[in-house]
Each structure stands twice: as C-alpha cells, then as structure tokens.
Amino acid sequence: MAHEKCACPVDEFHSEWARHARVVESARDWLQWDDIQAAIEIAARKDEPAGSLALLEQLQLTVSEWQSARRELGAHPYWFEATQRCYDMARSAVVGHLMAWFAYLVVPRASGAHGPTVPPELEEVALAWIGQLRESKVPDDVVELPLESSVVTRRVASDALKLARDIPAIGELPSFVEPLRELSIAAPAGVGALKDEPDKAATNYEINDEATREQHAMAAVEAVLKIADALALKCGESLDSEAARRHPLVTLLSHGPWANRVAVLAAVRYALEKSVPRTAARMKDRQAFRDVDDLRTLWAKFEELGEIPKPVAPTPAKPKFEVAGTGWTEDELATSAAQGPCGELVQRLEGCANPTLDLGVLRESDREKLAVGGKRGGSSGGGGSASRWRPPEALLKMLGAAGEHFVFQQLRRLVSDFDLTGNASVPRCFIEVKSTAHDGADAFEMTTNEWETAIRCHAGAEQAVYLIICVSRTATRPEIQDMFVDPVQLHLDGFLDYSSRALLVAVGSSRQPDRGTISA
C-alpha cells in the first residue's frame, strides 16, 4: 500500500529561511551593501514612511531619485500624507491671515504709521483671490517630498503670490502683498501674524463659518455702541448710533464673508472717532476696541457709567381674536369700526345681514318651560357659573361691540322704523344684545342694572318694552339666534330664570319654524 510523503513543518521552515538568505545575499551583492539585513530589521521597527526613508538614507539616495525610479518601473510616486496635511493646514492659516490683514488695512488709522490702506472697493477682488487659494490643490511636487512645516508654509505663500500675478489690482498694492512676499522667503514653523494684523482675527476667519462670524460680529457692534451711547452723554456729545451702525466699514466687517468680531471693532472705533471723538478717546483709553467682551464686562470698565441698566422687557404683542370671520386685536377692531361704512368690519357685518329673516317668528316662538330651580335638561341655569370657563375680557368686549353693530345692520335691513314689539301704545324699546362666539347657548349673563331696567319696563315705569336679542356665531358669520320680549314676564311665566348671585339667565329652548336662510 503506497503512502504520500508529508512535508515536515521543520523542513518547510528551513527551506523558507534558505530562500530568504539567498535573496538577502543576492541583494547584498547587487547593492554592495554588507549590512542590508540588519538595516531592514531596524527599518521594519519604524513607522512608514520613516522606515523606507531610513533605507534610502543608508543607500545615499534622494527621495527625488527614488520617485523617479518608481516612475521608470511604472509605479505611481509615493505621496507623503504628512506633507499633504501640513500643506492643507498652512494654506488654511494663510487664508485666515490674509483675510485678517485685508480687514486691518481697510480701516484707516489716525497715526498713518502703517502706510497706505486698502480701498474697501477691493473687497470682492481680494475675496476672489483668497478664494482661489482656498480651493487650490496640493501640488504634486510638494506632496511627493517629506517637507518640514516651514518649507511648506513658504510654498503656500509662493503659490498665493503666483495667483496674485494674474490680478493687477492685488499686485499694485504693495502694502497688501509685501508681508506675503516676506513669508515666502522666510517662514516660521507656523504662520504668524502678518505685520500688525491681529492674530485673533485670523483665527476667527480660519475656524468659524460665515454665519457664526456674522452673528458674533453684530453682537460685538451692539455691545460697543451701547457703551458709546451711554458714554457720549457723560462726555457732552450726541451720538447717532444708527448712523455708526450703518457706516460702510462697519457694515463690511459685520455682514457677509468679511464679518469678524475682532476686525469690526476697529471699524466701529473709526466711525466713533468721526462723530464723537471724546467718547472714542475714552473708550480707546479703556481698551474697549481691543478685546471682545460681553456687555456687562465692557460696561464695568467705565466707572462713570455706574450700574448697568436692567434690560427693559419687550411689550408683549396684543392678542388677536376671531370676530366676523377674521382676526383682530382690540385696537384694530376699534379702528375699523370708527371708519364706518368704509371700514372692513362694517362691510363684513353688512354682508352677514339676512334679508329674509322673520322677526315675528322669533318674537312669537313656542318655548319649553324650565323645571323648578331653573334646571332644564340636567344643566343648572345659574348654580354652576363659578366653574364655567370665562373668555378673556378683550374678546367679550369685541364680541359685544360686533354683535351690537350687526343687530343694527340687520334691523336696518328689515325694520324701517325699528318697531320690534308690535305694540303701538309703547313709545320706546330698550334693546340689549347678547353675543356668543359660536352657536347660541341656553344661558347668558346680565348685569344687575340690566335686570333692574327690565323690571322697570315691565312695571310701566319706563314706558318702554325691554327686548333681548341673542346673536350667535359672532366669531365667524353672525346671525340673530333668538329674541326675548319682556324677559321679566317670561320669567313669571316659567320660560326664563336667573341666578340672583351671578345673574346668569337660563332660557327654555324655542321651537321655531324655518326662519329663512342667510344669503352669502
């Protein structure tokens, strides 16, 4: 019986080691490198690309020669990720410092020691140039080399200057590009401030988006101008803070892409120096234009201002209520009512009047009698008034006024002489209107004076008939729901009751034929 010969693991190990030894020996002979094996073992303990660079150094080969050899062999050049990250960081920092430098130069200084300023009209051109730099890619010849950060920073500055050559307006402003030219010749490990440009402003441009910078800049402007408003009074000056807020340089550095809470302070200072120089000098003395503080901290720098005033609570907006199919505040309704037939309210109420309404049906309707104690259908006519929800007083006043005017429009449409009682011997008629926002209820409120007047009318003391007209759906499209002629007699007959404590009047339901439809 034949058996296959199994490979022994020990034999395989010795065979592999022998092959490795032959490869090393061949490489050593070819490279004339006696300690190649030890060098490879040391390089293997290092992270890439440090290990590979260590081997190239021992072979006395440059990275450029190695990259050329890779190309000759058809391989892609090696990209040094550390160099790429360094270029990205340096480019972002240079962009921030260039924006801060422009924001610094665009505001004139009283001393003039820094030289000529950059005209504000250049802001779009400068922004386009800086935008090209921000969007530029890392050059291949940079990323294929392991470069130090200072070298990379110089290269970013050189690339920015190269882009500027195609923009004459930029190249013709030496005060703007000279610091960048200096950076391209000698650069520190990290990008520092360009001459007098505030480093805080550059960081702000670098790390914050436009919306955040705009929000912070406008808050800084408001804080400084509040101090200036209060301080100008102490200095005997008059400040137009709105004019300072609208100053072109303040607007430029507080809105849009150039917004910066640090840079805008110089623009506010410049605007104040023109209008309230003593105030501006005092604020400059207390460094109010250098550090961005909250209002409370900034206020505390000026002992002459005393305690910071407490903020005035904003006046709450007046509520709107639905009346006659639209929303009104109480003032808006009164204003519209005062306009008479030309006003929207009267026109709406006139449109709700029903030309076919039969008042006689309402006056002579058959009613249900109330149970003893004013209870009907299981509900109390007045005893539960303390637990009833009461609408806001403003709404009740608006519903009452709209209901009364609607009744006037409705009666004017139907009754030329306003005779509602059908009794020619009675010379007068006292009309009380009760309005509800939605459907009519089986109870409504009366004041003590109203009920006493009804009693006098019933007794003949007033030589008048007392009439209650109930209007429903006053919030949307009002209509006359019911009429009560001589409510005291209805009370005596058992069709109406009231609570003497709250004067909540309960009424029996009326059984009426069709009263006509409301025309649109």
DSSP string, 34-96: TTHHHHHHHHHTSPTTHHHHHHHHHTT--HHHHHHHHHHTTPPPPP-HHHHHHHHHHHHHHHH
Q: Which of 495, 496, 405 is nearest to 444 (CA)?
A: 496
Note whether residue 446 is domain-resident: yes
288 and 262 in a single domain? The answer is yes
160 and 127 in a single domain? The answer is yes
291 and 352 in a single domain? The answer is no
Q: Residue 376 has what pLDDT?
A: 44
- 436's tokens: 């509800």
Note whether residue 38 is domain-resident: no
Query: Are the C-beta atoms of 409 and 350 separated by less than 8 Å?
Result: yes
Provide the pairing of β-strand 504-507 with 496-498.
antiparallel
Provide the pLDDT confidence category of residue 517 given band limits of 50, 70 and 90.
very low
Mean pLDDT of 357-381: 66
Q: Residue 19 has what pLDDT?
A: 53
| Tally of structural domains, the chain | 3
467 and 436 in a single domain? The answer is yes
**Which amino acid, 358?**
D
Rounded to whole angstroms, how far apart are CA atoms 95 and 133? Answer: 7
326 and 475 in a single domain? The answer is yes
pLDDT at 411 over 80: yes
346 and 375 in a single domain? The answer is yes
Residues recorded for the chain: 520
- 254's tokens: 């507080």
Note whether residue 17 is domain-resident: no
Mean pLDDT of 379-390: 46
Q: Residue 332 has what pLDDT?
A: 93
93 and 240 in a single domain? The answer is no
Higher pLDDT, residue 65 or 368: 368
- 463's tokens: 């030589």
Q: CA 89 → CA 44, 95, 177, 207, distances in Å?
A: 30, 10, 20, 11
Backbone dihedral angles phi then psi of residue 401, each to the nearest 5 degrees: -65, -45
Lowest mean pLDDT, pick from 124-138, 292-306, 320-334: 292-306
- Full residue range of the structural domain in which residue 139 is found: 81-205
Rounded to whole angstroms, how far apart are CA atoms 303 and 286? Answer: 11
Q: Residue 46 has what pLDDT?
A: 59
Note whether residue 199 is domain-resident: yes
Give the model confidence (pLDDT) of 82-104 as tens digits: 888 899 998 998 999 899 999 99
Query: Are the C-beta atoms of 258 and 127 separated by less than 8 Å?
Result: yes
Is the pTM higher than 0.95? The answer reads no
Q: Could you identify the residue written with the tokens 């639905």? A: 322
- The last residue of one of the domains, among 169, 187, 205, is 205
Higher pLDDT, residue 73 or 302: 302
Note whether residue 148 is domain-resident: yes
Across 107-245, the runs of DSSP E, i.e. the strands, are none
370 and 494 in a single domain? The answer is yes
Q: Residue 164's Cα: distance from chain center in Å?
A: 38
- Give, to the nearest 10 degrees, the angle between helix 50-58 and helix 63-72: 100
Query: Are the C-beta atoms of 285 and 302 separated by less than 8 Å?
Result: no
- The last residue of one of the domains, among 279, 305, 331, is 305
Q: Which of 260, 221, 249 is nearest to 96 (CA)?
A: 260
Note whether residue 433 is domain-resident: yes
Rounded to whole angstroms, how far apart are CA atoms 368 and 496? Answer: 9
The chain-wide mean pLDDT, for the chain, equals: 80
123 and 142 in a single domain? The answer is yes
Q: Which of 80, 33, 76 is nearest to 55 (CA)?
A: 33
Q: How many of the other CB atoms lie within 10 Å of CB of 239?
A: 21
361 and 497 in a single domain? The answer is yes
463 and 376 in a single domain? The answer is yes
Note whether residue 32 is domain-resident: no
Provide the pairing of β-strand 464-472 with 479-485.
antiparallel
Q: Could you identify the residue written with the tokens 């449409």? A: 413
User: Which H/E stretch holds residue 168?
Assistant: helix 168-171
Mean pLDDT of 211-230: 94
Q: Residue 3 has what pLDDT?
A: 40
Mean pLDDT of 138-144: 87
Name the percent of the chain lying above pLDDT 90.
41
Task: Encode 356-385: b = buried (16+ Cβ within 10 Å), e = exposed.
Answer: ebebeebeeeebeebeeebebeeebbbbeb
Q: CA 424 → CA 161, 363, 417, 421, 488, distances in Å?
A: 104, 16, 12, 8, 20
- The last residue of one of the domains, among 205, 225, 253, is 205
Query: Are the C-beta atoms of 318 and 329 separated by less than 8 Å?
Result: yes
pLDDT at 369 over 90: no
400 and 270 in a single domain? The answer is no
User: Which H/E stretch holds residue 15?
Assistant: helix 9-31
pLDDT at 159 over 50: yes
Note whether residue 67 is domain-resident: no
